C-alpha cells in the first residue's frame, strides 16, 4: 500500500489522482492534501480520504476550512500558506508525492519532498524546466525516483522500460496542435480567451490549455524531456498528431520505433506513476483501434507557433534561461487570460524577455539564482507588455 501526499488536490491533476485512489483503495491511501483556495472541494476531499495533514495555500481561508470540517473526529493537522504546503510535501508517512501544483509555485514543495526522501510523481513541469540544475543533483543525492505523470513523458518512460543503456537514439514528442490547429496566422490574431480554452482532446487546467494553444506546452515538454531522459535537444523532435492517441514515441539505435497508445485520459499516466513498476488492472474503456480508424501526423508549423523554437533556444542556452522562459510565459498567459494582451503577443513578448536576459545568464545556477531569474522575468514581462507596439496601440 502506497501512502500519497497530493499537492494541488482540487485541480485537474489532483481530482484525477483522487479518482485513482478511490478506485484502488487496496493499493493507495492519501496521507496529505494541499490545495490553493477551493475550500468547499478540499473539505469534501478531507471527509472522503481522511488525510493526516492538510494545507491551504491561501492563508486567509484557513478559518473557513476549519469551520467546514469542525464536526470531524479525528481532525487532520491543518496548516496554511506556502510553508504549510511544504510540510504536506515532506510529511513523514508519505511514500510518494504527487506534484499537481501549476507553475513555479510547485518548485519549493517538490524540493522539500525530494530532500525528505519521497518519490515524486511529477505532474508539475516547472519543477524541472526552471529547477533542473538544482533538482536533478538532489534527486541523485537522495536516491528518489522522478516518475513522469505528463502523458508524453510517461509514454517515453513506458517505452524505455527494457531499453538498454545507449539504446535510445531519438525522442518523438506528439502534440495535438491545440485549440487553433486549423486556423491561419491572420485568424490567430483575433482569437479570444474563451476560444483558447476549448481544447479539442484533453480536459486540463486553464494555464496548460492556453500553453497547448500556443504550443508552448510542447516546447516546455521538450525541455522537460531533455532533463528527464538526458537526451540532447537535437535528438528531440515534435510531430503533430491531432488524434492524441499516440502519446509519444522513441526511436532506438537500430531504427526500431516504440510508441505508447491510449485514450486522451490523464489518469493512465498518473496511475503508472503511482503504481510503477507494477501494472494495476482498471475498468477503464480499452483502446479500440478500429473505432479510431485513422492516425495522422504532420510537421509542426514553426512560423505559426514560434513558442516551440523559443523553448528549444532557451533549453540550449541552459542555466537560468529555461526558468526565464517559463516565468515569462506564466506571466504572459496570466495577462492573456485577463484580456490584457492578445494571443500573438504572448510569443513576441516572451522572446523579448528572453533576449533581455541573454547577457545575464550563466551556467550552474543556485536555487536563489533561479528564483531571482523567475522574479525578474515576471516583472520584465509586465514592463515589456506595456511597451507601445503596433499590435497594442491598434486595439
Measured from the CB atom, the residue of 158 and 361 that comes closer to Mg ion is 158
**Which of these segments, 152-160, 339-347, 350-358, 380-388, binds Mg ion (CB under 5 A)?**
152-160
Show the beta-strand stretches assigned E in 155-287.
168-175, 236-240, 246-252, 257-261
Report DSSP state, residue 287.
P
Nearest approach, Cβ of residue 224 and Mg ion (Å): 9
Please name the residues in contact with 147: beta carbons below 8 A apart, sequence gap of 6 or more: 96, 119, 120, 121, 122, 157, 272, 273, 274, 276
**Three-state DSSP class for residue 348:** helix
State which of residues 150, 351, 369, 374 lies at the interface with Mg ion (CB under 5 A). Answer: 150
Measured from the CB atom, the residue of 156 and 346 that comes closer to Mg ion is 156
Nearest approach, Cβ of residue 3 and Mg ion (Å): 26
Nearest approach, Cβ of residue 226 and Mg ion (Å): 15
* Nearest residue to Mg ion, scored by beta-carbon proximity: 150
Measured from the CB atom, the residue of 125 and 352 that comes closer to Mg ion is 125
Radius of gyration of the chain (CA): 21
**Which of these segments, 87-95, 101-109, 148-156, 237-245, binds Mg ion (CB under 5 A)?**
148-156
Measured from the CB atom, the residue of 226 and 352 that comes closer to Mg ion is 226
Measured from the CB atom, the residue of 211 and 380 that comes closer to Mg ion is 211
CA quadruple 145, 368, 314, 387: dihedral, nearest 10: 140
Which residues, listed in sequence order, are joined to residue 349 by a DSSP beta bridge?
A: none
Q: How many residues of this chain interact with Mg ion, rule: CB under 5 A?
A: 3
Is 380 a binder of Mg ion (CB under 5 A)?
no
Give the integer Cα–Cα distance in Å for 53 and 31. Answer: 7
**Which of these segments, 5-13, 30-38, 142-150, 321-329, binds Mg ion (CB under 5 A)?**
142-150
**Which of these segments, 90-98, 150-158, 270-278, 339-347, binds Mg ion (CB under 5 A)?**
150-158
Give the integer Cα–Cα distance in Å for 208 and 199. Answer: 10
Nearest approach, Cβ of residue 75 and Mg ion (Å): 37
Q: How wide is the angle at C-alpha 240 spanned by C-alphas 235 and 246, nearest 5°?
A: 85
**Which of these segments, 48-56, 151-159, 271-279, 314-322, binds Mg ion (CB under 5 A)?**
151-159
Task: For CA atoms 148, 351, 12, 97, give the dihedral sign.
Answer: positive
Which residues, listed in sequence order, are joined to residue 260 by a DSSP beta bridge?
A: 248
Nearest approach, Cβ of residue 248 and Mg ion (Å): 9
Nearest approach, Cβ of residue 175 and Mg ion (Å): 9
Measured from the CB atom, the residue of 37 and 267 that comes closer to Mg ion is 267
Which residues, listed in sequence order, are joined to residue 237 by a DSSP beta bridge?
A: 172
Binding mask 216-255 for Mg ion (x = CB under 5 A): ----------------------------------------
Measured from the CB atom, the residue of 55 and 231 that comes closer to Mg ion is 231
Give the integer Cα–Cα distance in Å for 323 and 128. Answer: 9
Decide: 113 and 31 in contact? Cβ < 8 Å: no
Residues that bind Mg ion (CB under 5 A): 150-152
Amino acid at each position: 500500500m502506497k501512502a500519497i501526499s497530493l499537492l494541488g488536490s482540487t485541480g485537474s491533476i489532483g481530482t484525477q489522482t483522487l479518482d485513482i485512489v478511490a478506485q484502488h483503495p487496496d493499493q493507495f491511501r492519501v496521507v496529505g492534501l494541499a490545495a490553493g483556495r477551493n475550500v468547499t472541494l478540499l473539505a469534501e476531499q478531507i471527509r472522503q480520504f481522511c488525510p493526516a495533514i492538510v494545507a491551504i495555500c491561501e492563508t486567509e481561508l484557513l478559518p473557513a476550512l476549519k469551520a467546514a470540517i469542525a464536526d470531524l473526529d479525528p481532525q487532520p493537522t491543518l496548516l496554511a500558506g506556502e510553508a504549510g504546503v511544504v510540510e504536506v510535501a515532506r510529511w513523514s508517512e508519505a511514500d510518494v508525492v504527487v506534484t499537481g501544483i501549476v507553475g513555479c509555485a510547485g518548485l519549493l514543495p517538490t524540493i522539500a519532498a525530494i530532500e525528505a526522501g519521497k518519490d515524486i510523481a511529477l505532474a508539475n513541469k516547472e519543477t524541472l524546466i526552471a529547477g533542473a540544475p538544482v533538482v536533478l543533483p538532489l534527486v541523485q543525492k537522495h536516491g528518489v525516483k522522478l516518475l513522469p505523470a505528463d502523458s508524453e513523458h510517461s509514454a517515453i518512460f513506458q517505452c524505455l522500460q527494457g531499453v538498454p543503456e545507449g539504446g535510445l537514439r531519438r525522442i518523438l514528442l506528439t502534440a495535438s496542435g491545440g485549440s487553433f490547429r486549423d486556423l491561419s496566422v491572420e485568424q490567430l490574431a483575433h482569437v479570444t480567451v474563451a476560444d483558447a480554452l476549448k481544447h479539442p482532446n484533453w480536459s486540463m487546467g486553464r494555464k496548460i490549455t492556453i500553453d497547448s494553444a500556443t504550443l508552448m506546452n510542447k516546447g516546455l515538454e521538450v525541455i522537460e524531456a531533455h532533463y528527464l531522459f538526458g537526451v540532447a535537444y537535437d535528438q528531440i523532435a515534435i510531430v503533430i498528431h491531432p488524434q492524441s492517441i499516440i502519446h509519444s514515441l522513441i526511436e532506438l539505435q537500430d531504427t526500431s520505433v516504440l510508441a505508447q497508445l491510449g485514450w486522451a485520459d490523464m489518469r493512465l499516466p498518473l496511475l503508472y506513476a503511482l503504481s510503477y513498476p507494477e501494472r494495476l488492472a482498471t475498468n477503464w474503456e480499452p483502446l479500440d483501434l478500429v473505432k479510431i480508424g485513422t492516425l495522422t501526423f504532420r510537421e509542426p508549423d514553426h512560423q505559426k507557433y514560434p513558442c516551440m523554437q523559443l523553448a528549444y533556444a532557451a533549453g540550449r542556452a541552459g542555466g537560468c534561461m529555461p526558468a526565464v522562459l517559463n516565468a515569462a510565459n506564466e506571466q504572459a498567459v496570466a495577462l492573456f487570460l485577463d484580456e490584457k494582451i492578445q494571443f500573438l503577443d504572448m510569443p513576441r513578448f516572451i522572446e523579448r524577455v528572453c533576449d533581455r536576459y541573454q547577457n545575464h545568464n550563466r551556467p550552474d545556477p543556485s536555487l536563489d539564482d533561479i528564483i531571482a531569474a523567475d522574479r525578474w522575468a515576471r516583472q520584465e514581462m509586465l514592463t515589456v507588455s506595456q511597451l507601445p507596439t503596433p499590435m497594442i496601440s491598434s486595439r
